[in-house]
Amino acid sequence: MQQESLLNENLYELLNLEHKQFVASVDEVKKAYRKASLKYHPDKLGENITETDKQVWLKVQNAYETLSDPARRKKYDSTLPFDDVTPKINDFTEETFYKVFGDCFINNARFSTIKPVPTIGDKNTPLDEVKSFYSFWDNFKTWREFSQYAEYDTEEANDRYEKRWMEKQNKKQTEKYDKEERKRLIDLTNLAYSNDPRIKAVQKAEADAKEAIKKAKKDAKAQQYKLIEEAKKVEEEKKVQEAKDEAVKKAEAKEAKKLAGRKYRQTVKDLIAYCVEKMPGTNYDKYYIDELVKKYP
C-alpha cells in the first residue's frame, strides 16, 4: 500500500484492525500499534524518510492514542460511516422476518453499552428469551454520540465561562440527533415486535382465549336465563294446574252437595208420602218441604 493512501485510511485500518472495528480490545490496539511502529516509525525508515512518511507516523500515533482512550474512541467510532436504515413494513415477509430484522439489530448492537447483546433468534426460540430480547431493546442504552455536529470546540474557550457556554450550545445542537436516534431505535423495536410471528402467535392465542372465556360466560348466562325461564314456566304451569285442580274440587264438592241435597229431599218426600199414606189428614208436605227448601235451596 502506498504511503499516500494510508493518509486516507481510518484509524482501525492504519493499525490493521479493520476486521475488528468497534470490538478490538485495548490490548489488541496496543499490540497492533507495536507492529505498526516497527513498520512506520521514523527510526525504522532511516535517512530515506519522506514528509509523507512523517505524516503517516503521526496518524498511526493518533490512531493509537484515540483507540486506546475509551472517551476518544467512542467519539471517533460515532463518526464512522454507519447504515442507519431500518426495515419498512414492505421489506419483509413472515419467512424473511428473522433474517431482515436479525441483521438490522446486530448492526445496531455495536453501540450497546451492555454486552453481550441478545439476538432475535428464530421461530424455535423460547418465548421468555423473545420477551427478554424486546425488553433489552426497549431499554437500549447506547454509547453513540453526535459530537461531530457540535459547532464549538471547547478546547478553544478562553475561560471556563466561555467553555460552559460552548458546552451548552453544543448540547442543544446534538440533542436533536440524540432524539432522532432514540426514535429510530424505538420505531425499529416496535415494528419488529408488532410483526414478530412468535409474538403474533401469542397474541392470537390470548385473543382466542379471551374470546372463548367471553363466549363461555355468554353461554352460561344464556343457559342460566333459560333455566330461570323454564323454572318460571314450570311454576306458572303448576299454579295453573293447582287452580284447575281447585276449580275441579270446588265443582265436584258443589256437585256432591247438590246430589246429597237431591237425595235428601227425595228421602224426605218418600218419608212424607209414607206418612201420608199411613196417617192421612196430617199436613206433612208443607212443613217438611219448607224445611228442605231452607236447607237445600
182 CB neighbour count, 10 Å cutoff: 12
Mean pLDDT score, 45-63:
85
Per-residue pLDDT, averaged over 121-139, amounts to 96
Does residue 201 belong to any structural domain of this protein?
no
The answer to the question of residue 41 being in a domain is yes
Q: How far apart are CA 198 and CA 193, in angstroms?
A: 9
112, part of any domain: yes
Is the backbone peptide bond immediately before 116 cis, with ω within 30 degrees of 0? yes
Q: Which of 168, 195, 222 is the last residue of a domain?
A: 195
**Both 134 and 174 in a single domain?**
yes
Q: Is the pLDDT of residue 24 over 60?
A: yes
Contact 14, 6 (CB under 8 A): yes
Contacts of 146 (CB under 8 A, 6+ apart): 78, 174, 177, 178, 181
Same domain, 268 and 287: yes
pLDDT value at 1 more than 60: no
pLDDT at res. 276 = 64
pLDDT band at 258 (very low <50, low <70, confident <90, very high): confident
Residues 185 and 261 in one domain: no
Q: What is the mean pLDDT of the chain?
A: 86
Spatial contact of 39 and 109, defined as CB atoms under 8 Å apart: no
Report the alpha-carbon distance of residue 179 to residue 146 in Å, rounded: 11
Question: Domain residues for 151?
Answer: 97-195
Whole-structure pTM value: 0.67
- What phi-psi label fits residue 86: left (phi over 0), alpha (psi between -120 and 50 degrees) or beta? beta
* Domain co-membership, 284 together with 251: yes
* Residue 284 in this model has a pLDDT that exceeds 60: no
Say if residue 242's pLDDT is above 90: no
Which residue in this structure is represented by grid cell 507516523?
57
- Number of CB atoms found within 10 A of residue 91's CB: 13
Q: Do residues 187 and 218 both lie within one domain?
A: no
Rounded to an integer, the average pLDDT of 105-134 is 95
Residue 80's nearest CA partner among 139, 145, 133, 26 is: 145
191 shares its domain with 216: no
First to last CA, the chain: 143
Q: Are residues 154 and 233 in the same domain?
A: no
Is position 82 within any domain? no
- pLDDT for 275: 67
Do 176 and 235 belong to one domain? no
pLDDT of residue 279: 61
Residue type, 123: K
CB within 8 A of 118, min separation 6: which ones?
129, 132, 133, 136
Q: Report which of residues 3 and 291 the model is more confident about.
A: 291
Q: What is the pLDDT of residue 97?
A: 97
Instruction: State the CATH number of the domain containing residue 31.
Output: 1.10.287.110
- Name the residue among 36, 31, 35 with its Cα closest to residue 9: 36
Contacts of 97 (CB under 8 A, 6+ apart): 195, 196, 197
User: What percent of the chain has pLDDT above 90?
Assistant: 45
Q: Is the pLDDT of residue 273 over 90?
A: no
Confidence of residue 2 (pLDDT cuts 50, 70, 90): very low
Residue that is last in its domain, among 157, 174, 195: 195
Digit-coded pLDDT (tens) for 78-94: 988 889 999 999 999 99
Question: Is residue 85 in a domain?
Answer: no
Q: Look at residue 154 and tell me whether its pLDDT is greater than 90.
A: no
Please provide the DSSP assignment of 55-123 as one string. Answer: HHHHHHHHHHHHHTSHHHHHHHHTTS--------TTS--TTTHHHHHHHHHHHHHTTBSSSSPPP---T
Dist CA 156 CA 193 (whole Å): 46
**Domains contained in the chain, number:** 3
Last residue of a domain, one of 195, 222, 254: 195
User: What is the spatial distance between Cα 227 and Cα 276, in angstroms, rounded to a whole number?
Assistant: 72
Is 87 inside a domain boundary? Answer: no
Same domain, 119 and 60: no
Cβ contact 137:122 at 8 Å:
no
Top mean pLDDT of 53-57, 146-150, 198-202 is at 198-202
235 in a structural domain: yes
Do 218 and 242 fall within a single domain?
A: yes
Evaluate whether residue 88 is within a structural domain: no
Helices (H), the chain: 3-6, 11-14, 26-40, 42-45, 51-67, 70-77, 97-109, 127-138, 160-195, 197-278, 284-295
User: Alpha-carbon distance 229 to 235, whole Å?
Assistant: 10
Please check whether residues 213 and 191 belong to one and the same domain.
no
